Amino acid sequence: MRNAFDFTPYRRSSIGFDRLFDMLESATRSDAGQDGYPPFDVEQRGEDLYRISIAVAGFTRDQIDITSKPNLLLVQGKKGDDGDRRFLHRGIAARAFERSFQLADYVVVTGAELADGLLQIDLKREVPEAIKPRRIEIGGASTPADAIEHKAPEAVAA
């Protein structure tokens, strides 16, 4: 199925925005792996602080893998074999999962914690000083009159 939006005209006239258009196109596609399991929340905890909370009831620390790549956070969970356990009813989901989150530039994972069935991943946006906006002082003459002096040429008497 084709996307509802065609970004081709914008790709031709824009330079350096390829990753943005790729993200927009991938957001419109249906992802078979992202079926809503496990459920998660994304919370903004400050101007540059975020937390992702994922409901992973029944999973242990050893069964969850968190991988951080540039602009991507991948969380995977895989349950081991139940061995000799015999369930009469199984209501707690025990299937493997994979959740991916697109991260903005300069967002890094600062920590992760598993407690009470919730995996909480803390994120922080760390913009390098070199690319932060800075004020530029304007140099030169203090007033326009000092900068340019125009005098009319004196007429020569003949």
Q: Domain boundaries in the chain?
A: 1-30, 34-132
pLDDT of 136 above 80? yes
CATH of domain 34-132: 2.60.40.790
Give the model's confidence band at 101: pLDDT under 50 very low, under 70 low, under 90 confident, else very high.
very high
Among the ranges given (36-40, 90-94, 141-145), the one the predictor scored with the smallest mean pLDDT: 141-145
Whether the predicted pLDDT of 150 surpasses 60: no
What is the reported pLDDT for 146?
A: 52
28 vs 112, which has greater pLDDT? 112
What is the 3 state secondary structure string of the chain? CCCCCCCHHHHHHCCCCHHHHHHHHHHHCCCCCCCCCCCEEEEECCCCEEEEEEECCCCCHHHEEEEEECCEEEEEECCCCCCCCCCCCCCCCCCCEEEEEECCCCEEEEEEEEECCEEEEEEEECCCHHHCCCCCCCCCCCCHHHHCCCCCCCCCCC
Which of 29, 19, 3, 30 has the alpha carbon at shortest distance from 104? Answer: 19
| Structural contact between residues 134 and 142, judged by C-beta atoms closer than 8 angstroms | no
Q: Which residue in 128, 147, 129, 126 sits closest to 138, CA to CA?
A: 147
Going from the C-alpha of 101 to that of each of 20, 42, 158, the distances in angstroms are 15, 10, 87
According to the model, what pLDDT value does residue 1 have? 46
Six-digit token pair at 16?
A: 């350096």
